[in-house]
Amino acid sequence: MESSLQVILDALPLLLEGTVVTLKIVVISLIFAMVIGLISGLMSTSLNRLLRLVASLYVDIIRGTPLLVQVYFIYFGLPVFLDMRIPAMTAGIIAVSLNAGAYVSEIFRAGIESIGKGQHEAARSLGLSRFKTMWLVVLPQATRRMIPTFVNQSIITIKDTSLLSAIGIAELTQTGEIIISSNFRAFEIWGVVGIFYLIIIVLLSRASRFIERRYAIR
């Protein structure tokens, strides 16, 4: 019987590949989530009632349903409706992006609303349009306050990618399952998988603390 150390060493190359896939999904999904969240957040603070309603419906639907259901709906449900195949990686990124985007939307909304009305009024009194007031005055201040919350959402998104193993994406968790199915050494493999997730999240948390200190975010 192989030693635990040898089992881990043998599994490391595949686990590293799975980690790369996980990070790829996280980075791409968070980029899309930021764009979706910003648009939805601006809609939710708009003076237009219809835009606020659309943003509210999106957030409520996404936050009110489990991510796994969303993954299954996009991967299994949409192809039936659209009569086309959606690759697992594409479906996973879409699901994670939409899910994280709903939470990022609420982060943007809260950040924007945290800026006092006096800032808006001062900018408007200087002749700035609503658009310029938002982009040049409100968002820069709000974004600094939102950074810690963005990092927390990023951590949640990293953990959420493990659910994509349900549709066969070979991210870190799925890779661990594949290895265990061949060597039956669950203790060692799941231990290493957990350590890999821990390292990623600790590094991200440390970076967040550095940014908070660097920019004196309060």
Q: Is the pTM of this model over 0.85?
A: yes
| 3-state secondary structure labels for all residues of 12-58 | HHHHHHHHHHHHHHHHHHHHHHHHHHHHHHHHHCCCCHHHHHHHHHH
d(CA 105, CA 184) in angstroms, rounded, equals: 42
Radius of gyration of the chain measured on its C-alpha atoms: 21
d(CA 166, CA 69) in angstroms, rounded, equals: 11
Amino acid at 214: R
What residue spans of the chain are helical by DSSP H? 4-44, 49-63, 67-72, 78-82, 88-113, 117-125, 130-132, 139-160, 172-183, 186-214
Residue with tokens 């086309």: 84
Q: Between vectors from CA 97 to CA 139 and to CA 38, what angle results, nearest 5°?
A: 15
Q: Tens of pLDDT along 29-56?
A: 999 999 999 999 999 988 899 999 999 9
The residues near 77 (Cβ < 8 Å, ≥ 6 apart) are none
Residue with tokens 């835009």: 51
User: Which CATH architecture best describes the domain 4-214?
Assistant: Orthogonal Bundle (1.10)
d(CA 154, CA 100) in angstroms, rounded, equals: 8
Q: Tens of pLDDT along 196-212?
A: 999 999 998 888 777 77
Q: Tens of pLDDT along 43-91?
A: 998 889 999 999 999 999 999 999 999 999 999 999 998 888 999 999 9
C-beta separation of 109 from 39 below 8 A: no
pLDDT of 1 strictly over 70: no
Residue with tokens 């690759």: 87
Dihedral through CA 33, CA 39, CA 42, CA 48, nearest 10? -140
